[in-house]
């Protein structure tokens, strides 16, 4: 199969139904989070989020404007501030699971801005305003327009009594210290800053892994053979796929991968246009969320230019490189298994 022949039509109901914790964290809970005894803040934040979950799980009341104002004033708003690999996403997913999937919308910053692009601002507020809690993973400050949009969205939701929980994104290259400070987050959401409770999580990367951004490249014949051997394999020329992504709204990139369990790319090379690069970043995020291995061939040049890696969107690019390296490592392992 080929991704470039797919033009998914995604109803609003599906876009909203997909706002759940990623597959990596589908079974995580507060009980599966193991705080490091050397860092008391990990246990303290977990216990505080349990309190938030208990408060949000209580029955809600409907009524007049007085009750709505009271709900808005009491709705929790928490920001998990910490370095790479201390369990922020685990705890955010645990909070979502504890409150209940039917009462929570969970997405990354990019997924929620894409949702606004697909539905429109007012429709997004109305849809998310029905939830008890909105979780935003990897809150980003690299695009001023998107930051203003998200700040306005959060304000509208908080005024409706919707609780908010957010984490920051991190640079894979920076490991434990790779975060933007809580002060930056609060400054950018000035109208809501006073409502947010900052929960600082200390600690080292619990996975103790070496983060790589080097994708594992194969030869083109190996890529074709690996994909043809799997019923759920999709094979595409890199340039053709990049061109196709421009014709599909980013909110539908997940649907683009329906039924796909490995992606093969031939002719992978460096990308020199920022709009093209950012669309590919979103696709990599959806591949990573769904644990879809990638097998790729190419010329071995850097995927993103030096200017991109030094510019305002550098966090997005480094995250994509790290995730793509993980996915291509999985793909290379599939090829090795087939040969064994």
Could you give all domains of the chain from N- to C-terminal order, each with its CATH number? 12-201 (3.40.50.300), 212-339 (3.40.50)
Q: Which residues contact 44 (CB under 8 A, 6 or more apart)?
A: none
| In the predicted structure, residue 120 carries a pLDDT above the cut 90 | yes
| In the predicted structure, residue 276 carries a pLDDT above the cut 80 | yes
Instruction: Please indicate whether residue 103 or residue 335 has the higher confidence score (pLDDT).
Output: 103
Residue listed under structure tokens 């409502």: 195
| In the predicted structure, residue 58 carries a pLDDT above the cut 80 | no
* Cα distances (Å, whole numbers) of residue 105 to 114, 152, 163, 182, 206: 14, 17, 11, 23, 27
| In the predicted structure, residue 269 carries a pLDDT above the cut 90 | yes
> What pLDDT score does 310 carry?
86
Q: Which residues contact 45 (CB under 8 A, 6 or more apart)?
A: 80, 91, 199, 200, 201
Assign 163 to helix, strand or coil: strand
Percentage, residues of the chain above pLDDT 70: 84
> What pLDDT score does 195 carry?
76
| In the predicted structure, residue 241 carries a pLDDT above the cut 90 | yes
| 179 CB neighbour count, 10 Å cutoff | 21
Give the predicted TM-score (pTM) of the model.
0.77
Helices 220-228 and 314-339, packing angle to 10 deg: 70
Q: What is the spatial distance between Cα 79 and Cα 194, in angstroms, rounded to a whole number?
A: 12
> What pLDDT score does 209 carry?
55
* Cα distances (Å, whole numbers) of residue 249 to 216, 218, 263, 277: 28, 30, 19, 15
Identify the band that residue 196 occupies on the pLDDT scale cut at 50, 70 and 90: confident
| 212 CB neighbour count, 10 Å cutoff | 13
> What pLDDT score does 71 carry?
52
Identify the band that residue 176 occupies on the pLDDT scale cut at 50, 70 and 90: very low
Least confident of 107-116, 196-205, 231-240: 196-205
* The token pair that represents 340 in the structure block: 């064994």
Q: Which residues contact 240 (CB under 8 A, 6 or more apart)?
A: 4
Mean pLDDT, residues 265-282 taken together: 94
The DSSP bridge partners found for residue 77 are 164
Q: What is the spatial distance between Cα 197 and Cα 187, in angstroms, rounded to a whole number?
A: 14
| In the predicted structure, residue 264 carries a pLDDT above the cut 50 | yes
Identify the band that residue 305 occupies on the pLDDT scale cut at 50, 70 and 90: very high
| In the predicted structure, residue 210 carries a pLDDT above the cut 70 | no
Spacing of C-alpha 193 from chain mean position: 23
> What pLDDT score does 290 carry?
87
pLDDT in tens, 3-18: 999 999 888 889 899 8
| In the predicted structure, residue 178 carries a pLDDT above the cut 50 | no
Select from 156, 188, 174, 214 the least CA-distant residue to 314.
Answer: 174
| In the predicted structure, residue 205 carries a pLDDT above the cut 70 | no
Helices 144-159 and 121-128, packing angle to 10 deg: 40
Q: What is the spatial distance between Cα 90 and Cα 92, in angstroms, rounded to a whole number?
A: 6
């Amino acid at each position: 199969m080929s991704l470039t022949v797919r033009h998914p039509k995604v109803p609003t109901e599906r876009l909203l139904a997909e706002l759940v914790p990623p597959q990596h964290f589908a079974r995580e809970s507060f009980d599966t989070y193991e705080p490091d005894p050397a860092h008391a803040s990990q246990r303290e934040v977990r216990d505080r989020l349990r309190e938030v979950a208990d408060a949000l799980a209580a029955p809600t009341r409907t009524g007049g404007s007085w009750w709505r104002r009271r709900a808005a004033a009491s709705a929790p708003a928490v920001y998990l501030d910490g370095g790479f690999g201390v369990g922020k996403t685990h705890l955010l997913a645990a909070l979502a699971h504890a409150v209940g999937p039917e009462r929570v919308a969970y997405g990354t910053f990019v997924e929620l801005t894409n949702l606004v692009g697909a539905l429109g601002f007012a429709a997004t507020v109305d849809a998310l305003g029905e939830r008890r809690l909105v979780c935003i993973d990897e809150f980003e400050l690299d695009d001023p327009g998107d930051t203003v949009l998200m700040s306005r969205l959060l304000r509208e939701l908080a005024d409706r009594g919707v609780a908010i929980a957010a984490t920051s994104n991190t640079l894979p290259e920076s490991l434990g210290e790779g975060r933007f400070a809580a002060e930056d987050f609060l400054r950018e959401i000035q109208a809501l800053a006073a409502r947010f409770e900052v929960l600082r999580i200390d600690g080292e990367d619990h996975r103790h892994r070496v983060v790589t951004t080097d994708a594992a490249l194969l030869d083109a014949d190996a890529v074709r053979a690996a994909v043809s051997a799997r019923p759920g394999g999709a094979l595409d020329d890199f340039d053709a796929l990049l061109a196709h992504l421009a014709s599909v709204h980013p909110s539908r990139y997940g649907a683009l991968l329906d039924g796909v369990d490995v992606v093969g790319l031939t002719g992978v090379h460096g990308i020199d246009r920022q709009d093209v690069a950012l669309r590919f970043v979103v696709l990599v995020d959806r591949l990573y969320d769904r644990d879809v291995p990638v097998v790729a061939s190419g010329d071995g040049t850097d995927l993103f230019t030096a200017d991109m890696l030094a510019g305002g969107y550098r966090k997005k690019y480094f995250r994509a490189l790290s995730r793509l390296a993980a996915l291509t490592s999985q793909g290379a392992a599939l090829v090795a298994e087939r040969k064994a």
